[in-house]
Amino acid sequence: MDTRKKVEILAEAAKYDVSCSSSGSSRANQKGGIGNAAPSGICHSWSSDGRCISLLKLLFSNDCIYDCAYCINRASNHKPRASFTAEEVAKLTINFYKRNYIEGLFLSSAVFLNPDYTMEQLVKTLKILRNSYQFNGYIHVKAIPGADYRLIRQAGELADRMSINIELPSRDSLKSLAPQKKATDILQPMEQIGTDLVEYKEDKKKFKSTPDFVPAGHTTQLIVGASPEKDFQILKLSEGLYNRFNLKRVYYSAFMPVTPDKRLPAVSGPPLLREHRLYQADWLLRFYNFGADEILGPDRPDFNLDFDPKLDWALNNLDKFPVEVNQAGYWQLLRVPGIGPTSARRIISARKEARLSPDNLKKLGPVLKRAKYFILCDGKYLAGIPFDPDLIKSRVARDQKGKNQQLSLFAETNLDKEQVIG
């Protein structure tokens, strides 16, 4: 099989993995080398079907020995199979880079022969790129669950980012839909990478010559909707991964039926709005100081699809509002719908100079059409209605009506400009 045909098969097979967003790498060019990930990291665009635009995104092989129910590359799925050699992937990457087609490489693989052999091939590819071609561009490589950690460690010393996909949010679902995989094969290397990353960062503070180890961090991916877990269970898992494993990102992938299997739910399409709500809640975990237990709970295990998680939390906690923007602290301001980190910082900075009036507040960037229900400004309630919980919920619901439509890049839409921008 020629290389062009392999690229056609293995690039198609790789598009279902969404965990290749990157940035944060500081790998600079070296004398005599090629490529540079340092100036601003790698910037990415996303196509409507999840492909990452600016990376060469490939599977090393799709000839998988496993038969996971949800995976297009499962062993029992009759489709063309192909595998690269390490030299082929390295040469492709360099040639694409020199033509300015790509800014880096995202390399994953199905498990072919066994986990160790697959991981060895990925490490070999990275060694050729880094050592033979002196390639200093961005590389995101997948760690293969079940492979010897010494091989995963070697890959981490050559790549900018690594990821190990959990895929299924519980051991029960893993046992049901991917019975050949073991949870420990996924979680143990993930934990070890997190530990090694902490050590690497500490050593880097003391010794600038400390060899790199996944400087852009490690990530994982969870499939949403292929198994029965509630949103609360998924969000608690993400919170635990951030806290325990020093994870950079959790990516959520709406379940897309690609092969028939009676163990899978019958769905009409990917649950994109649910996926979107998980990303919004994940953002609250990482940057807004929320806990998963504040956003959802056993008595309310799934997201309200009508309101984003922050707005939904505020409507369920109206006893904490309204807050006076001239007095509230940074974290308190962040909990106000319509106020983000940038406008919160501007508010705190501006009120050092003078007490904020409603007119001053408008100039600082908060989305007042949302924030007005939850704030006082210079003692004035800006919503124009009494602070009555039932009335506020009614007005917010009216304002949100028709705004929760998942947009497609290609479908016609009747949404007006204000609805699209929010």
155-171 per-position pLDDT tens digit: 999 999 899 999 999 99
Model pLDDT, residue 37: 57
- The fraction of the chain above a pLDDT of 70, given in percent, is 87
316: closest CA among 259, 413, 389, 254?
Answer: 389
**Higher-scoring residue by pLDDT: 241, 50:** 241
- The fraction of the chain above a pLDDT of 90, given in percent, is 67
Residue partners of 382: CB distance under 8 A and separation at least 6: 358, 368, 371, 372, 375, 376
233: closest CA among 186, 176, 281?
Answer: 281
98-108 per-position pLDDT tens digit: 988 788 888 99
Please, are residues 273 and 404 in contact by the beta-carbon 8 Å criterion?
A: yes
How large is the greatest C-alpha to C-alpha distance in the chain, in angstroms?
Answer: 73
CA distances from 183 to 43, 78, 192, 304 (A): 32, 27, 14, 30
Tokens for 276? 């979107």
189-207 per-position pLDDT tens digit: 999 999 999 999 899 889 8
Model pLDDT, residue 211: 87
Q: What is the pTM of this model?
A: 0.84
Helices first, then strands: H and E counts in the chain: 16, 9
Pairing of strands 380-381, 375-377: antiparallel
Residue with tokens 């890049």: 409
CA distances from 257 to 198, 254, 266 (A): 38, 10, 8
Mean per-residue pLDDT for 215-239?
A: 94
Q: What is the distance, to the nearest Å, from the Cα of residue 323 to the centroid of all Cα atoms in its chain?
A: 32
pLDDT above 50 (res 93): yes
59 sits in which H/E element: strand 55-59
Please, are residues 54 and 138 in contact by the beta-carbon 8 Å criterion?
A: no
Model pLDDT, residue 53: 56
Band (412; pLDDT cuts 50, 70, 90) = very low
CA–CA dist 159, 224 (Å, integer): 28
pLDDT above 50 (res 385): yes
